Amino acid sequence: PAARCRLEAEPSPLLFDPAATALMIIDMQRDFLEPGGFGESLGNDVALLACAVEPAAALLAAARGAGLLVVHTREGHRPDLSDVPPAKLARGAPSARIGDPGPMGRILIRGEAGHDIIPALQPRPGEPVIDKPGKGAFYATALADILSTGRIDTLLVCGVTTEVCVHTTVREANDRGYRCAVVADACASYNPAFHLAGLAMIKAQGGIFGWVTDSAAAIAALA
């Protein structure tokens, strides 16, 4: 498809066609961003993710305005835990495990309040919501089919956390041939050093598996 927009990014500008570009918002769920959910159960300070909300909301508005396909993802599991690998369930020493009761319902379980996307980034009808059991958005989901049906070749990616679900998804997408630009300030990590390192890894070596940009540049490119 014809490349019509120019995104300022590192390590180089990226030319993209909005009709072939999707915005992917990764796991901006109450379970990760609000107290009492999965993120906090693992010992994290969830306030560290709040900085990504406004940039992601501005990016979402710009993407909708430009007519991009918007794809939301949610990490979570079936109520009977049949899709949780035992190794994931048993990992670490959390204060509450996946499926345990919490103030936002059962931790990381589909249908519970904590599993929902935060109010500022609620999906609109018609926007695909990918429920994923893993860190990457392609594993055990229909994402590949949705992107190929939409004739998508480029992804703008934001969400949480930079070095876990954003990174895994971008690595998977890169191997599948998608050009991925990660929107740095619309991503966040419980560990700010990991956020920076994660972004540095993506754009190193001439953009070894993607590009890094920010919300101002992405919004300007979509205007």
Catalytic residues: 27, 132, 165
160 or 170: CB nearest ligand C5J: 160
Q: Closest distance between ligand C5J and the C-beta of residue 131, in Å?
A: 13
In sign, the C-alpha dihedral spanning 71, 75, 80, 85 is positive
68 or 137: CB nearest ligand C5J: 137
Contact 49, 37 (CB under 8 A): no
For the chain, how are helix, strand and coil distributed in percent, rounded to 5?
40, 20, 40
Max Cα-Cα span within the chain = 51
Q: How far is CA 29 from CA 41, 46, 178, 213, in A?
A: 14, 11, 25, 23
Amino acid symbol at 221: A
In the sheet with 69-75, reading across from the earlier edge strand, the strands are 129-132, 69-75, 21-26, 154-160, 179-188, 211-213
Q: At CA 25, angle to CA 24 and CA 26, rounded to 5? A: 110
Cα 204 from chain centre: 20
Return residues touching ligand C5J (CB under 6 A). Answer: 27, 32, 75, 135, 160-161, 164-165
**Residue 133: Cβ within 10 Å count:** 18
Q: Closest distance between ligand C5J and the C-beta of residue 3, in Å?
A: 31
Q: Closest distance between ligand C5J and the C-beta of residue 135, in Å?
A: 6
Q: Six-digit token pair at 65?
A: 């305005």
Which DSSP symbol is given to 123? P
